[in-house]
Each structure stands twice: as C-alpha cells, then as structure tokens.
Amino acid sequence: MRLRALAKINLGLDVLRKREDGYHELRMIMQTINMYDQLDIEISKTPGIKITTNLPFIPVNESNLVYKAAKLLMDEFQVEQGITVDLQKFIPVAAGMAGGSSDAAATMIGVNRLFGLGLSVKELMERGVKIGADVPYCLLRGTALAEGIGDKLRALPACPDCYVLIGKPAISVSTKFVYENLHANELEYHPEIDKMLDAIQWHNLNKIADCMGNVLETVTIPHYPVIQKIKDHMKEHGALNAMMSGSGPTVFGLFDDKATAENACEALRESRLARTVFLTTVFNNGGRRK
C-alpha cells in the first residue's frame, strides 16, 4: 500500500501564554501543501515493525514516529503479523513542516486499512495526539484552526489555490530552544488570527497574505538572520507575503501567479540562501471549497 504524507505550513502562528506545565498555548492557522513523503506499507509474516528509509540520519528504530504510530494501533488491536514500511523522505527534516507527524498520520491510515481495524478518522485523531500535537491535524489535512497545543482543531473553508515557494536554509533550529527563548507573557506583537479567519471565509488570498504572522520569528530571526534574508528575497521577487513556518527554519512565500512564482524559485536557488528550494501549491481535501 502506497501512501503520501503531506507537509504543512502555518499561515499564522500566535502564542497566547505559557502554561504551568511549561508548554505553550497556541492559536494557529494550518495549511497542507503538495509536498510529501512516500510510504510503502506491507504486511509481513514475521512480527514486528521494520522501517527502511532513503535518509541515513533518520532513526529506523522505535524513536521513528512511523514506528510509534504503527505500534500504538498494532498493540491496541493485538495484531500478530508484522509490517514493513519503506519511507522515502522529501519533506525537509526538523524544518517546521510536520514531516514526522505526517508520516505518523499516514502510517495510522495505512495500518487501519491493511488490518481492517475499522477506525474512523476521528478515532485515529484521538489516538494520534499521543504521538504528537501535530498528528491529529495531519490526519485532518486542509485548512484548519488549531488551538491548545495544536490538537484542538476546527476545519475551515479551503484556502484559495495559490503557489507556495519553500526555502529551507542549511541551519538546524530546535523547537525546544525556540519555545524556551520566547517570552510568551511579554509579547508585544500578535498576528491577526481573527482577521485571517475572516479572510479565509471571504476566500480573499491578498487579505490572507496581509494577515500572515508568526510570533516564533521574534526568537529565530535575531539568532538566524538568514531567515529574514529569505523572506526579503521572496517578497522582492513578487511574493504576496513570506513567513517562517512553525518553529522554522523553513520560510514559505505565497504567490498568486505561476510565472512570478517560478521566477522567484529560480532566483532563490541562484542566491544560495536556502539549501532546499521547492515550488508547490496548497492542498485542500478534495477542494472542500474552491
């Protein structure tokens, strides 16, 4: 069984407060994009979960989110057979694009189907949150408002079709570092999430772009100026707006015109500001609304 695990970007990311347990309460607009990892999942006669992957630095043991997702369902339903999973990674790793979470979501869909477990997407989402806060969203896909630690979800009308230019610089940013250095209770700036919700209702791409904002940039940009440089580069080349996704360091730009997006993509490649440069489009669940 072949599955696609799609990446996400955050069109908006606000942090409301730091909770007593150290975690942060968020308010985010999530959007799935047509950039994906490919998973081939098969039943094997030998018990256990065997993972192979094209990236040598990704763990293939029980710390892989694919393993955790498969084990969660196989243990609960006492599946005696095993599975093999070949994971071809194309989504940049540790990039703020939920690659691992999406792999986990795809694995849950695959295991549910292969073994006929009969779980609904909602039932998979309830279990997925045990693996990671972004996993329920990766099962839902499309345009959504995410609150809590990212697990409280509301599906939204589809974001208008547009081009998404991805630029990931050759740096690693730890999510833990970003949250630890965010002074959540003293933030002066908050993105306009409510206005973006209106813009999504009105299907207005220009307004959506105007409302884009990510408070985590207040931590990452001073430490890693290349993030600002990639944003500026995309805007100078015609992006409606450009922003860091999640905890970064990936930057994305939105474009309403294909030729402009292709030109910006080529220019970003030539600039060498980013190691991974990829032009894609937004993905919406069968176009919930055009």
Ligand X SMILES: C[C@@](CO)(OP(=O)(O)O)[C@H](O)COP(=O)(O)OP(=O)(O)OC[C@H]1O[C@@H](n2ccc(N)nc2=O)[C@H](O)[C@@H]1O
Ligand Y SMILES: Nc1ncnc2c1ncn2[C@@H]1O[C@H](COP(=O)(O)OP(=O)(O)O)[C@@H](O)[C@H]1O
Q: Which stretch binds ligand Y (CB under 6 A): 11-19, 56-64, 144-152, 157-165?
A: 56-64
Active site residue 68: no
Among residues 8, 68, 168, 231, the one annotated as catalytic is 8
Q: Is 92 annotated as a binding residue?
A: yes
The question of whether 8 is a catalytic residue gets the answer: yes
| Contact call for residue 101 and ligand Y (CB under 6 A) | yes
Q: Which is nearer to ligand Y, 101 or 240 (CB)?
A: 101
Per-residue x/- track, 245-284, ligand X (CB under 6 A): -xx-------------------------------------
21 binds ligand X (CB under 6 A): no
- To the nearest whole angstrom, how small is the minimum distance from the Cβ of residue 214 to ligand Y? 13
List CB contacts of 68: < 8 A, sequence separation 6 or more: 62, 104, 131
Binding of ligand X by 290 (CB under 6 A) = no
Q: How many whole angstroms separate alpha carbon 120 and alpha carbon 123?
A: 5
* Whole-number Å distance between alpha carbons of 13 and 246: 7
Judge whether 19 and 25 are in contact, CB under 8 Å.
Answer: yes
Site pattern 221..250 for ligand X (x: CB under 6 A): -------------------------xx---
Structure tokens at 118: 């009969």
69 is in an annotated binding site: no
User: Applying CB under 6 A, which of residues 1, 4, 24, 82 lies at the interface with ligand X?
Assistant: 24
Could you tell which of ligand Y, ligand X, none binds residue 110, using a CB distance below 5 to 8 A set by kind? none
Q: Candidates 16-24, 61-69, 78-86, 257-265: pick the segment binding ligand Y (CB under 6 A).
A: 61-69
- Interface residue with ligand X, options 75, 78, 120, 176 (CB under 6 A): 176
Over the window 182 to 211, marking each residue x when it contacts ligand X by CB under 6 A and - when it does not, the resulting string is ------------------------------
- Three-state SS annotation for the chain: CEEEEEEEEEEEEEEEEECCCCCEEEEEEEEEEEEEEEEEEEEECCCCEEEEECCCCCCCCCCCHHHHHHHHHHHHCCCCCEEEEEEECCCCCCCCCCHHHHHHHHHHHHHHHHCCCCCCHHHHHHHHCCCCCCHHHHHHCCEEEEEECCCEEEECCCCCCCEEEEEECCCCCCHHHHHHCCCHHHCCCCCCHHHHHHHHHCCCHHHHHHHCEECCHHHHHHHCCHHHHHHHHHHHCCCCEEEECCCCCCEEEEECCHHHHHHHHHHHHHHCCCCEEEEEEECCCCCCCC
Contact 108, 127 (CB under 8 A): yes
Is 63 known as a binding-site position?
Answer: no
What number of residues does the chain have? 290
Query: Which residue do the tokens 């230019």 mark?
Result: 165
What residues numbered 78-137 form the site for ligand X, per CB under 6 A?
96, 98, 132-134
- Is position 169 an interface residue for ligand X (rule: CB under 6 A)? no
Q: Which residue is nearest to ligand X (CB)?
A: 246
Which of 103, 134, 168, 231 does the annotation list as catalytic?
A: 134
Which sequence positions are flagged as catalytic?
8, 134
| Residues within the interface to ligand Y (CB under 6 A) | 58-59, 63-66, 93-101, 103, 246
| Residues within the interface to ligand X (CB under 6 A) | 10, 22-24, 26, 96, 98, 132-134, 149-150, 175-176, 179, 246-247
